[in-house]
Amino acid sequence: MRHVFAAFLIAALTLPASAAPTSAAQVPQSSAQVQLTFAPVVKRVAPAVVNVYARSVVQTPMNPLFADPFFQRFFGASPEFRQRVQQSLGSGVIVRADGVILTNNHVIENGQDIVVALSDRREFKAKVLLADSHTDLAVLKIDTKGEHLPTVDFGDSDRLQVGDLVLAIGDPFGVGQTVTMGIVSALARTQISASDYQFFIQTDAAINPGNSGGALVTTDGKLAGINTAIYSRTGESIGIGFAIPANLARRVVEGALGGGVKLPWFGADGQPVTAEIAQTMGLPRPEGVLLKSVYPGGPAASAGLKTGDVVENIDGVDVEDMQALNYRIATHKAGDVVKAHVAGTGQPRDVTIKLGLPPENPPRDETLVSGRNPMAGAKIENLSPAAALDMQMALTAKGVVIVSTSPGTFAARYGFQQGDIVRSLNGTEVHSVGELVHALNASGGHWSLVVERGGQKLTLNVDG
C-alpha cells in the first residue's frame, strides 16, 4: 500500500520533564511506583488545550467540464461556480494567560471564521496574529475580558531524549478532549515534508485527525512540541507521529507578538556527509554537513567558512543534514552568536558565527498573475536569498519563482507547482516579475514557457 504523510489536525505530543543526564533516569522499583499516575499533570495541563474550528467558503465548478482549459478555449464557455462551506477541526495550546494560542497553520489556513472552544465549553472568536506556512505554525488571540486563562509553559525541546515519556492532548475525530501516552521514538526527523523547517520529534503516542496543533507535553507538564503530522497508510494513527519542537514554536510566538517572524540564516548550502564522502575526505566517521556553496558576505562567509568545510555541530548539538542545521539557526534571533565545530579543510576548529537576516535583493515584488494566460492564478516573486530560504531552495537561485497556485485557476490546471522557476517565455529569458507579467500579456495568444523544476527543464506550449 502507498505510504502517506498526512498533515492532519493532529494531537499534541509531549517532551520529557527534566532532561537530566541519562544517569539520573530511573525505572520503577516497586509495584507502588508502577501504579503512579499522570493524573495530576493532566489536570494541570488539559485546561490549556483548546479546540480550534476554522470555517471557510470555497468555490467549486458546477460542471467540471466547463473548468477544463481546452473546453473554455474552443467553446468560449466560462465555468459557473457554487459556494460550499468547509470546516476544519484542530487543537491549540494557550501559551499566554491573556488569550494567546498556538496551533498549526494548516488548521486555520484560508479560514474566514475561526472559533476557539475552551475546555469548559466557552467559545470565543479568534483573531489571527500570525499564520506562517513555512513553519506550519499559527498564533491566535482571543479577548478574555481581563480573565487569566490556564497556560502551558514552554519546555526546552533540546533536552528531550529518546525513550522519554510524553503525553498527547487533543480532540481526535471531534470526540472530545483525549489524552494518550507514549514515548519519544526518535529526534531530529528531517524528511517529513510537513513544513519548510523540517525537524520533528517522533512519538508513538496515539495521534489522529483533530489533534493537529495540540500539546506535546513532558511528564512534568511542559510543552515539548506542537503535533503536526502522522505517517499512515489509512489516515489513522499507527504509532508514528511528528511534532514541531517547542524551541521553534517559542520563536514563532515571540515573532507574532513582536512584529513578525524574522528567522536568521546561516548563509550556506550543504549536504549530509555520507560514508563515501567521509572516506574520500579522510574523516573518521560520516557525520555533519558538507558545505557545497557559501553565500558571499553571509554569516558563514564572514566567519571564514568555505566550500568543502564540514559543519559537525552547532552549539554542541550534532547536525546531520541541512534541515537540521537550518533548524538550529532558526531557533535563534538575528544578531545572536552561535558556535560551530568545523572539519574538512585543514585542522578541526571551532568557529564563532554572528547571525543576520538574509538579504532581499532583488525585492520580492510578489504578484498574483491575472488575465487570460496559462499562469493566471499563480503567485510569483523574484528570487533572493531571503525568498530562497523561505522556500528551502538553493541560496544562489535566481529568477522568478512560483510561490503558490490558486485551486481551479489556469495555473493550477496546467500543473504549475510551488518552487517552479520560470526561465523563459516565447524564447526570451525571464529575469524579473515585471518582465514575466509584461511578456504574458503581450504574447499574442501563444505561450511557450520553459520552467525549471528540481533541476530539470520542462516546456509548456499553449495557444488560445
Instruction: Supply the residues annotated as catalytic.
Output: 106, 136, 212
SS3 301: helix
- Per-residue DSSP letters for 365-424? --EE--SSSTTTTEEEEE--HHHHHHTT--TT--SEEEEEE-TTSHHHHTT--TT-EEEE
Residue 436 backbone dihedrals phi, psi, to 5 degrees:
-65, -45
The CA-to-CA distance between both ends of the chain, in Å, stands at: 41
Answer whether 50's CB lies under 8 Å from 123's CB.
Answer: no
Partners of 448 in beta bridges: 461
d(CA 103, CA 54): 12
Burial of residue 37 (number of CB atoms within 10 Å: 0-12, 13-18, 19+) = exposed
Distance of CA 63 to the CA centre of its chain: 35
Answer whether 50's CB lies under 8 Å from 12's CB.
Answer: no
Q: Is the peptide bond before 374 cis (omega within 30 degrees of 0)?
A: no
Burial of residue 335 (number of CB atoms within 10 Å: 0-12, 13-18, 19+) = exposed
Kindly state the DSSP code that residue 34 receives in the 8-state scheme. Answer: H
